[in-house]
Amino acid sequence: MFKRRTVGDVTFETVSVIFMIFFCITTLYPFLYLVGLSLSSADASTIGYSILPQGFSLENYAKVLENSDIGVGFKNAIIKTIIGSAVNVVGAIIAAYPLSKKYFPHRSMWTGLIVFTMFFSGGLVPSYLLVKRLGLLESMWALILPGAISTYNMIIMRNFFMSLPESLEEAAKIDGANDFVVLIKVVIPTSMAIIATITLWSLVGHWNSWFDALIYITNPDKQLLQIVMRRIVLEGTVQMLNPNAADYTSKPVNSENIKAATIMITTLPIIAVYPFLQKYFVKGVMIGSLKG
């Protein structure tokens, strides 16, 4: 039998739906506004708060893509994101697997020491000095190795490994498999949900990061797309996009529209990746958070 809905139930559901609609609007509107602005030929001051393009044009994207710094930054950002995410996922697996085993010596102590780093760190200056002493300045590895293993991701993956049936590993060991073989052929194939989730987090984190590149990289040929975007959005003008190009006065382009197009170019790649991993996202997080 269906439970009769009370006035409180109806009120709660109504308020929840209204809140979620409002939340979705406040989340989507800025993105849609930038999409419309980037596709508009009209000045931003004449568009107002409309999300629809005024005078549809792709000229803003063409002007942005003409900038050589955008191409270099895009290439460097892709390389950093792919390599950095691979290092993060492999590092999380290697650290999480032994810590998920009850027979691992002093497991609680090692876990506590690792969790300690989530709340306390050396700070910016010691981190910079360490990277400098290691000779990593002006190198892509300065953006990858300091954050090679995320404590949070490792704990989530550890909890997921602890939720796997022990009988799977016992059966493999009876057949002669060692721990390394069990990890590669049993644990990893059955943990694709959490691996996909950690991969998604790592991809988004590396793609959006810019502060480390601002500190460790000064060579323009090694700068990331996000640094180029920051410079254009905060300091840029239309002429800054391509100072060697012909005078823009013959074909005026609005700087605010250019900035919107720049933001969209840096945002769309990670949005395109998300749908392929989204189906694993909720499952991986829920299962990985069950055990402590």
Assigned token pair, 53:
């393009």
pLDDT score for 144: 92
For residue 140, pLDDT beyond 50: yes
> What digits encode the pLDDT tens for the residues 186-234?
888 888 888 888 888 898 889 888 898 889 998 888 888 888 888 877 7
Among candidates 225, 221, 224, 258, which has minimal Cα distance to 239? Answer: 258
Q: Residue 227: its pLDDT value, please?
A: 87
Largest CA distance in the chain: 77
For the cut 90, the answer to whether the pLDDT of residue 147 exceeds it is no
The per-residue pLDDT for range 70-124, each reduced to its tens digit, is 888 889 999 999 999 999 999 999 999 999 888 888 888 998 888 888 888 788 8
Residues 6+ positions from 79 with CB-CB distance below 8 Å: 140
40: which strand partners? 56
Q: What is the mean pLDDT of the chain?
A: 82
Look at 70-79, 80-89, 139-148, 174-183 and tell me which has the smallest mean pLDDT: 174-183
- How far apart are alpha carbons 256 and 36 in whole angstroms? 12
Give yes or no for a contact between 271 and 254, defined as CB atoms under 8 angstroms apart.
Answer: no
CA distances from 51 to 39, 47, 61, 103 (A): 10, 8, 17, 58
Residue 196's region, left for phi above 0, alpha for psi from -120 to 50, else beta, is alpha
DSSP 54: S
Predicted local confidence at residue 280, as pLDDT: 64
Taking Cα atoms as reference points, which of 72, 43, 9 lies closest to residue 219?
A: 72
Query: Does 148 or 276 have the greater pLDDT score?
Result: 148
- pLDDT score of 256: 80
Residue-level length of the chain: 292
Residue 150 CA: distances (Å) to CA of 34, 146, 158, 214: 32, 10, 12, 21
Give me the sign of the Cα torsion angle 253, 254, 257, 261. Answer: positive
Q: Answer whether residue 150 shows pLDDT above 70.
A: yes
Question: Both tokens of residue 195?
Answer: 């691996």
- What percentage of the chain has pLDDT greater than the value 70? 86
Q: How far apart are CA 161 and CA 98, in angstroms?
A: 10
Residue 228 CA to residue 230 CA, distance in Å, equals 5
DSSP state of 142: G
Q: Which helix (H) or strand (E) holds 136?
A: none
* pLDDT for residue 118: 84
For 35-70, write each residue's pLDDT tens digit. Answer: 888 888 777 667 777 788 887 888 888 888 887 888
Half-sphere exposure of 162 (CA within 13 A, CB side): 20
DSSP string, 150-195: -HHHHHHHHHHHHHS-HHHHHHHHHTT--HHHHIIIIITGGGHHHH
What's the pLDDT tens digit per position in 251-291? 445 678 888 888 888 888 878 877 776 666 665 555 545 44
